[in-house]
Amino acid sequence: MSKKILVTGGTGYIGSHTIIDLIENGFTPVSLDNGINSDASILEQVEQITGVKVKHYAVDLCDYDATRSIFEKESFDGVIHFAALKAVGESVAYPFKYFRNNLNSTLNALELSKEFGVKAFIFSSSCTVYGNVESSPVTESTPLMDAASPYGRTKQMGEQMIQDTIAENSLTKAIILRYFNPAGAHISGLIGEAPTNQALNLVPVITETAIGKRPSMSVFGTDYPTRDGSCIRDYIHVMDLAHAHTLALKSILDDQQQIPIEIYNLGIGAGASVLEVIHAFESVTGQALNYVITERRPGDVVAIYANYEKAKTQLSWEPKYNIEDIMRTAWDWEIKRSKL
Ligand SMILES: NC(=O)c1ccc[n+]([C@@H]2O[C@H](COP(=O)([O-])OP(=O)(O)OC[C@H]3O[C@@H](n4cnc5c(N)ncnc54)[C@H](O)[C@@H]3O)[C@@H](O)[C@H]2O)c1
């Protein structure tokens, strides 16, 4: 029988793309999302792509009783816990909002997974847990530094909650996935990043500027010690990222994971600078982007990219898409989104 997977944050950006990959790999995803940064209508596009109508619960994961009743009703084989608030700047301004939402939701998802004997628990973490690293590539054993924001700290604390609660004799095994910079959209152009709050990541800022939603955009500093002076990040296509969740689930459900908890970096292992990303956009779309070079932004890490060897060896995960694919799919989605 098809294994049933709870996807918290299922109508969000990465959650909705992962639902597609889960369906394509024979799983039955069930979505839970309170719509704080997404719209459940995205599941209509998911149905168009996959032919499957996904069951959805419009529930706040911080509401323990409402979440518990879902665990009682459904019998989950796995939980992928995406639901979180994720705006770094907002988290600095409203730390309690972030602690309350991200920690309580993780606590409930984790506690109920253990209580109901869910076999696999997958957690969305972030390269932000590494803090301001001194050198790249970053491996999973690179020591974690100060998280630099309440958002980052909620990811570090989420990881610690898992470390403290998933023990050797636990029925539940866990995987912590540390994403680098997810970007791009599904190849169909039917779904992509569609936050109800303002987009802050580089790729949607580029596409929104190009389509005219923003008059221009800023490149924050071109005097860093990098090859062209702008900051370097590791952009990973959202469908590559989505597929890593399916492989992570399988490694636990198929009893390949011997230890209670594993941690994997997910990036493509090569950094692209802000200016390189802009040039990739210009080259795949043939369109010049209106941007200005401004002062450095406080708190920006100079360069961070992943060593993903562990995910490659242990999960047989290999990214298929490059930065041009990311920009092409993100642009197709932006055009489609502007007509909605
Ligand atoms: N996108 C990135 O750049 C990035 C990078 C690293 C890690 N992550 C992590 O990946 C996960 C998914 O991120 P995303 O980019 O898809 O973000 P997103 O905002 O598109 O998706 C998160 C979803 O969670 C929902 N949600 C938030 N709090 C909730 C709650 N209490 N109950 C129910 N639903 C709730 C939101 O409505 C949203 O649909 C998050 O945990 C995020 O921190 C994202």
**In 10 A of CB 19, how many CB atoms?**
30
- The predicted structure's pLDDT at residue 339: 79
How far is the C-alpha of 313 from the C-alpha of 317, rounded, in Å?
8
pLDDT tens-place string over residues 162-185:
999 998 888 999 999 999 999 999
> Average pLDDT of 246-256?
98
Q: Looking at the domain assignment, is residue 227 inside a domain?
A: no
Q: Looking at the domain assignment, is residue 241 inside a domain?
A: yes
Q: Is 291 within 8 Å of 209 (Cβ atoms)?
A: yes
Ligand 1 pocket: which of 14, 62, 157, 268 to mutate (most atoms <8 Å of CB)? 14
State the pLDDT confidence band at 297, using cuts at 50, 70 and 90: confident
- The predicted structure's pLDDT at residue 47: 98
Ligand 1 pocket: which of 124, 235, 301 to mutate (most atoms <8 Å of CB)? 124
Helix (H, G, I), strand (E, B) or coil at 254: coil
Angle of the 42-50 helix axis to the 13-24 helix axis, nearest 10: 20
> Average pLDDT of 125-136?
91
Q: Total structural domains in the chain?
A: 1
Q: Looking at the domain assignment, is residue 166 inside a domain?
A: yes
Ligand 1, atom 21: nearest CA belongs to which residue?
A: 12
Q: Is 186 exposed, middle or buried (0-12, 13-18, 19+ CB in 10 A)?
A: buried
Ligand 1, atom 1: nearest CA belongs to which residue?
A: 182
Compute the distance from residue 124 Cα to the ligand 1 centre, in Å. Answer: 8
> Average pLDDT of 175-203?
90
Which residues, in sequence order, are bridge partners of residue 79? 6, 121
Helix (H, G, I), strand (E, B) or coil at 112: helix
Compute the distance from residue 104 Cα to the ligand 1 centre, in Å. Answer: 14
Compute the distance from residue 61 Cα to the ligand 1 centre, in Å. Answer: 12
Closest ligand 1 atom, residue 86 Cα: 43
Q: What's the CATH code of the domain at 161?
A: 3.40.50.720
pTM of the model: 0.96
Closest ligand 1 atom, residue 151 Cα: 43
E strands within 210-331? 217-220, 232-233, 235-237, 261-266, 272-273, 291-294
224 is catalytic: no
Average pLDDT, the chain: 95
> Average pLDDT of 185-208?
88
Ligand 1, atom 26: nearest CA belongs to which residue?
A: 83
Ligand 1, atom 7: nearest CA belongs to which residue?
A: 126
Ligand 1 pocket: which of 13, 54, 234 to mutate (most atoms <8 Å of CB)? 13
Compute the distance from residue 223 Cα to the ligand 1 centre, in Å. Answer: 32
Compute the distance from residue 14 Cα to the ligand 1 centre, in Å. Answer: 7
Residue ranges around ligand 1 (CB below 6 Å): 9, 11-15, 33-38, 60-62, 82-86, 101, 105, 124, 126, 179, 181-182, 195, 201
- The predicted structure's pLDDT at residue 33: 98
Scanning the structure block, which residue is given the tokens 């995406």? 82
pLDDT tens-place string over residues 86-125:
988 899 999 999 999 999 999 999 999 999 999 999 999 9
Q: Looking at the domain assignment, is residue 239 inside a domain?
A: yes
Q: Looking at the domain assignment, is residue 290 inside a domain?
A: no
Question: Catalytic: which of 13, 57, 130, 151?
Answer: 151
- The predicted structure's pLDDT at residue 289: 95
E strands within 108-205? 120-126, 173-179, 181-183
How far is the C-alpha of 151 from the C-alpha of 117, rounded, in Å?
29
> Average pLDDT of 294-312?
91
Compute the distance from residue 163 Cα to the ligand 1 centre, in Å. Answer: 21
Q: Which CA distances in Å does 238 have to 184, 192, 275, 323?
A: 6, 9, 21, 11
Q: Looking at the domain assignment, is residue 179 inside a domain?
A: yes
* Structural domain boundaries enclosing 130: 4-183+235-268
Q: Looking at the domain assignment, is residue 230 inside a domain?
A: no
> Average pLDDT of 35-51?
96
Reading the block at residue 41, the tokens are 């209508």
Q: Looking at the domain assignment, is residue 72 inside a domain?
A: yes
Which percentage of the chain shows pLDDT scores above 90?
88
Ligand 1, atom 6: nearest CA belongs to which residue?
A: 126
Ligand 1 pocket: which of 36, 68, 236 to mutate (most atoms <8 Å of CB)? 36
